[in-house]
Structure 1
Amino acid sequence: MKIYHLHHSGFLIQFEDKTIIFDCFTHIPSSLLRKGLPHYFFVSHGHSDHYSTDIFSTSRIYHPSYILSNDISNDSTHKTHAIGPYQHMSLGGMDIKTFGSTDQGVSFYIATNSHRIFHAGDLNWWDWDPVEKPNLDIAQEEKDYKNELEKMKNLPMEYAFIPVDPRLGDSFYKAGQYFIETFHPKVLIPMHFRDNFEIITKFKDKIGNTKTVIPVFKERNVKIKNTWSFNA
């Protein structure tokens, strides 16, 4: 299993028999795509920093399939599957469950190849500065995030992709910290920070001592170094 950071909340995960791709809205280097193997594109919602119709231009030699949140208008002639929150489907050796979001669309929980992967999409603890978002109910945002995680409390979390958004100022770490305290994933991979890679180190420093691995990466389209000792 190899994990590549594409950009923002976009990731590509290679297994021996397939590749899965989350929330890609930028160009994928051809070196990361493998001829003859199926490629599954997961899109959590239709925001432009998570979705681009360019994914439908992926060559058929890569056998692309698309699992789209049902808030996205599907104009593609490709093999697509629309899915909403709290649904379940089996596809390509993957057991796929969806959960909700605190913004738009879905979050994905995927069991495949003896691994458990969670991609939050825009499911986040949106603790904005009240000066910036004066009409936002901050207490309700916290409640909504924690209530959503409660719905998945019995699921084992191995790899979790969680927003660590620098726009939230001093609250950037809250979603990730609460996720770690709730699920103790083996690996938590920060996302949703555009090119502000420094936020990863800030997040690690804020979290402090934890058994959860928080890998550091510093650019787009790179393999995330395996710094954990369990079988990956």
Structure 2
Amino acid sequence: MKGIYIYHSGFALLDEGGTVIIDYYKDSADRPLTGVVHGELLSRPGKLYVLASHVHADHFNPEVLTWKEMRSDIQYLFSKDILENGKAGLLDACYLDKGNVWTDGVLEVEAFGSTDAGVSFLLRWDGKTIFHAGDLNNWHWKEESTEEEVREAERAYFDELDALARRTDRMDLVMLPVDPRLGEDYMLGAKQFVDKFRVDRFVPMHFDDAYDKANAFREYAESRGVRFVELNYKGEGFMI
């Protein structure tokens, strides 16, 4: 199985039978309708699954709904808040809330919680267990928040990790925010995640173009026995 970093929190997963695109925001090239998605993935043989974890514009682009005009075998799986915010219609997708499970016998998608909007996704596909966090993270700005706000953010994050741990303690691939905008503690949520779970491969996301900051998590990940996937450009592929 192969993974492709599209941009921000957008990824594609590829196996011989199909393609999963998660949290598409922009393609990997700067010009419209170019990049790995438009140039390769939308015409790739096999079933196409398109997932969106929540309504925020950097995780859900309504453009994805136009892709069904190019192919009839798309399965859309969206967080319920996308429907509730009127960004897609009732018949456009299957909508998932925390605790919901969808499967077609090939791909299984289970929705877990978030510490921001929408859900996170646990996928079971082709013998692999894969987690895409959406906006699940230990979100706090230590330099700007009160001690109580920091504690509350951490409690909320740990509650979601505990719920996930009741379903699995190991994952083949994890995609989780390593966002330098958080300041001093920007790696904290990622550290806490790999401390709690047995993770084979970890890929950073939600860092825009701050590749050096995101890749700085390699040292900590590898100290926990995790294989860190370094990213250096949009459209970069990696093995799972």
Compute the displacement of 1:69 (Å).
0.3
C-alpha contact 2:194 2:221 (8 A) present in aligned 1: no
Q: Write the distance in 2 (CA, Å) between the matches of 1:13 and 1:149.
A: 23
Partner deviation per Cα, 1:127-182 (whole Å, 9 max, x = no partner): 21342x56981100001101110012141311111110100111111111111110
Mapped pair 1:222 → 2:202 = no
- Residue 168 (structure 1) aligns with: 182
* Seq. identity, %: 28
**For this pair of structures, how many residues does the alignment match?**
225
Q: Write the distance in 1 (CA, Å) between the matches of 2:140 and 2:104.
A: 35
Q: Counterpart amino acid of 1:198? A: D
Q: Write the distance in 2 (CA, Å) between the matches of 1:60 and 1:78.
A: 18
* TM-score (ref. length: structure 2): 0.87
| Stretches of structure 2 lacking an aligned partner (at least 5 in a row) | 28-36
Partner deviation per Cα, 1:182-206 (whole Å, 9 max, x = no partner): 0021011110101111123211134
User: 5 Å matches for 1:51-90?
Assistant: 51-58=60-67, 59-61=69-71, 63-73=73-83, 75-76=88-89, 79-90=92-103
Q: Write the distance in 1 (CA, Å) between the matches of 2:100 and 2:90.
A: 23
Mapped pair 1:127 → 2:140 = yes
CA RMSD of aligned residues (A): 2.0
* TM-score (ref. length: structure 1): 0.89
Compute the displacement of 1:217 (Å).
1.4
Task: Describe the shift of the 1:69–1:175 C-alpha distance in structure 2 as closer, same or farther (beyond 3 A).
Answer: same
Q: Write the distance in 2 (CA, Å) between the matches of 1:62 and 1:117.
A: 26
Q: Write the distance in 2 (CA, Å) between the matches of 1:11 and 1:44.
A: 12
Compute the displacement of 1:106 (Å).
0.3
Q: Counterpart amino acid of 1:17? A: G
* Structure 1 counterpart SS, 2:3: strand
Q: Write the distance in 2 (CA, Å) between the matches of 1:158 and 1:118.
A: 8
C-alpha contact 1:33 1:62 (8 A) present in aligned 2: no
- Residue 229 (structure 1) aligns with: none
Q: Write the distance in 2 (CA, Å) between the matches of 1:7 and 1:120.
A: 15
User: 5 Å matches for 1:1-232?
Assistant: 1-27=1-27, 28-58=37-67, 59-61=69-71, 63-73=73-83, 75-76=88-89, 79-91=92-104, 93-131=106-144, 133=145, 137-154=149-166, 155=168, 156-207=170-221, 209-224=223-238, 226=239, 232=240
C-alpha contact 1:6 1:221 (8 A) present in aligned 2: yes
Q: Write the distance in 2 (CA, Å) between the matches of 1:208 and 1:94.
A: 29
Structure 1, 37-46 or 21-30: larger mean CA deviation: 21-30
Q: Write the distance in 2 (CA, Å) between the matches of 1:212 and 1:60.
A: 39
* Structure 1 counterpart SS, 2:217: helix
* Structure 2 counterpart SS, 1:72: helix
C-alpha contact 2:54 2:79 (8 A) present in aligned 1: yes
Q: Write the distance in 2 (CA, Å) between the matches of 1:35 and 1:147.
A: 39
| Stretches of structure 1 lacking an aligned partner (at least 5 in a row) | 227-231
- Residue 31 (structure 2) aligns with: none
Compute the displacement of 1:77 (Å).
8.2
Compute the displacement of 1:53 (Å).
0.4
